[in-house]
Amino acid sequence: MKAGSSHARSVDERWDERNGLLAELEASGYLTDPRLEEAMLAVPRHVFLPDELQEEAYADHPLPVGHGQTVSAPHMVAMMTSALQVKQGDNVLEIGTGVGYHAGVVKAMVGAEGTVVSIEFVKELSQRAQANLKTAGQDVIVLNRDGATGAPEYAPFDAVYVTCAIPEIPDALVRQLRDGGHFIAPIGVTKCQLKAGRKIDGRLVLEDLGPCLFVNAQGELGAGDDDSGVLQPAP
């Protein structure tokens, strides 16, 4: 069957590749939570990719998805999701939906009782993400707006994460995160430091997880149109 066919993007296909990727992530130390392993197995990456990228769906590197954006490398999805420490029933905010893959994994982690709200600046990508998530069976709320404003109508959130480079953390995202909630984002312009932590007594307390490269955020959230950060090496 041709890799780019609709049949190849079924959620019930390519199990050997999916299991192989998870074994690779586990061996590299990125996958230590059985719940996350189950979620990443349940949300197939190939469902979120266009025909021309099907052969690379289970390679552990980011892939371009148009509009200067990428779908994150699986090891980065695993690393960031682990840092969020989400649990069943949590309410989570994602900034930077892209094609929806990372949001789908997080939704699988929080389960039917949990909520994932994801914000995408590019209208075409937000529409594509909604279709992809529906195919993958993951009920995520996708909003087409500037991520700097967050989603106050769905707050407070148990966790907030950003999947694009931001020069600074908007106050709105801090306000919408409940006290004790977890946060992770790449801070900088393209060449970033991945920072993660919690909100304690009304402010974020973050630790540095190491350097990384991310595509820059767009709109008010971002700092220009440079799209050179298409790689996301492990910190």
Q: Which sign does the torsion angle of CA 141, 146, 148, 153 carry?
A: negative
pLDDT of amino acid 234: 39
At 174, the pLDDT band (50, 70, 90 cuts) reads very high
Mean predicted confidence (pLDDT) in 99-122: 97
Mean pLDDT for the chain?
90
Determine contact, residues 73/139, Cβ cutoff 8 Å: no
CATH class of 61-221: alpha beta
Q: What is the mean pLDDT of residues 98-102?
A: 97
The model's pLDDT over 30-47, given as tens digits with 9 standing for 90+, comes to 999 999 999 999 999 999
Can you read off the two tokens belonging to residue 211? 């350097």
Taking CA atoms, 197 is separated from 6, 61, 129, 138, 234, in Å, by 40, 25, 27, 26, 18
Length of the chain: 235
- Which segment of 4-8, 48-52, 200-204 scores lowest on mean pLDDT? 4-8
Give the pLDDT confidence score for residue 232 in this predicted structure.
Answer: 43
Among 5, 6, 72, 228, the active-site one is: 72
Look at residue 136 and tell me whether its pLDDT is greater than 70: yes
For residue 6, indicate whether it is catalytic. no
